[in-house]
């Protein structure tokens, strides 16, 4: 079972509980966005809130809880938050580049070009493919 | 106050597991390969959050190292998969 001290003070329990509720709801909303949004380019924005706000709330709650519980400064969760802040944009950028590259290679239309007339945008994407391919092979 | 924190911890664990299930659905459903990689990346992040929650519930600092390792492995695997999808090879 859970090992929470029985005489935990409300000054610790209430902020930790608020941060945990906030973090879990935000995590759920982010993944719901991942599931519900229609295009990949919109879907990639869903987990961003999970990574920043959700993980941030959980890490803050953990820091607060262990600092008060052990009566010393426990801030090694900052390592995880710094690591996530460094790596999440890299992953997102690589995935976006992958998606754009694959969509261009397959001649698939990007959702942001939809309002244009279909014939013109189709020609544009094939022209882009022809431009991009040698670049990709030379680089 | 102990009861409050217990209820909140159970609620958070439920939410994170539900989030993992939603990621799993997208992972199984995803029309393109990059959707699946994105879902897998989010699944890693949710697993890291779950490890942190376990650390709070069992008042143990060991779970922190789990969370660190999960975050690290998730980043490496996502980058490798993204590179593989983009180029067809990981290390060129």
Domain range summary for chain A, segments of one domain joined by +:
10-133
With contacts defined as CB-CB under 8 Å, which chain A residues touch B72?
83
Question: What ipTM score was computed for the predicted complex, to two decimals?
Answer: 0.90
Cβ proximity of B50 and B17 under 8 Å: yes
- The predicted-structure confidence for A45-91, as pLDDT tens digits, reads as follows 999 999 999 999 999 999 999 999 989 998 889 999 999 999 999 99
Taking an 8 Å cut-off on Cβ atoms, the answer to whether B52 and A62 are in contact is: yes
Least CB–CB distance from B9: residue in A2, A6, A34: A2
Q: Decide if B72 touches A, using CB distance below 8 A.
A: yes
Report the CATH number at residue B18: 1.10.287
Q: Decide if B85 touches A, using CB distance below 8 A.
A: yes
Kindly state whether residue B92 falls inside one of the protein's structural domains.
no
* Domain housing B75: 2-87
SS3 state at A115: coil
Kindly state whether residue B75 falls inside one of the protein's structural domains.
yes
- Tell me the two tokens of residue A94: 């690589």
Q: Decide if A119 touches B, using CB distance below 8 A.
A: no
SS3 state at A17: helix
Looking at the predicted structure, is the pLDDT value of residue A118 above 60?
Answer: no
**pLDDT bracket for residue B2 (50, 70, 90):** confident
Q: Give the pLDDT confidence score for residue A138 in this predicted structure.
A: 44
Quote the number of domains for chain B.
Answer: 1
Query: What is the CB neighbour count within 10 angstroms for residue A118?
Result: 10
Q: Give the pLDDT confidence score for residue A24 in this predicted structure.
A: 95
């Amino acid at each position: 079972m859970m090992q929470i001290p029985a005489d935990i003070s409300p000054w610790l329990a209430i902020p930790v509980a608020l941060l945990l509720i906030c973090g879990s709801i935000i995590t759920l909303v982010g993944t719901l966005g991942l599931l519900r949004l229609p295009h990949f380019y919109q879907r990639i924005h869903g987990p961003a809130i999970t990574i920043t706000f959700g993980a941030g709330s959980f890490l803050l709650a953990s820091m607060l809880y262990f600092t008060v519980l052990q009566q010393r400064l426990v801030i090694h969760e900052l390592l995880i938050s710094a690591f996530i802040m460094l790596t999440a944009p890299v992953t997102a950028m690589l995935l976006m580049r992958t998606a754009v590259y694959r969509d261009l290679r397959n001649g698939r239309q990007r959702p942001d070009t939809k309002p244009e007339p279909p014939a013109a945008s189709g020609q544009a994407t094939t022209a882009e493919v022809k431009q991009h391919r040698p670049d990709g092979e030379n680089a | 106050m102990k009861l409050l924190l217990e209820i909140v911890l159970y609620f958070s664990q439920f939410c994170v597991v539900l989030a993992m299930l939603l990621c799993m659905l997208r992972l199984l459903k995803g029309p393109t390969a990059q959707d699946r990689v994105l879902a897998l990346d989010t699944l890693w992040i949710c697993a890291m959050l779950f490890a942190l929650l376990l650390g709070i519930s069992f008042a143990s600092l060991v779970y922190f190292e789990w969370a660190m390792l999960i975050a690290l492995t998730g980043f490496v695997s996502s980058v490798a998969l993204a590179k593989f999808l983009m180029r067809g090879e990981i290390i060129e």
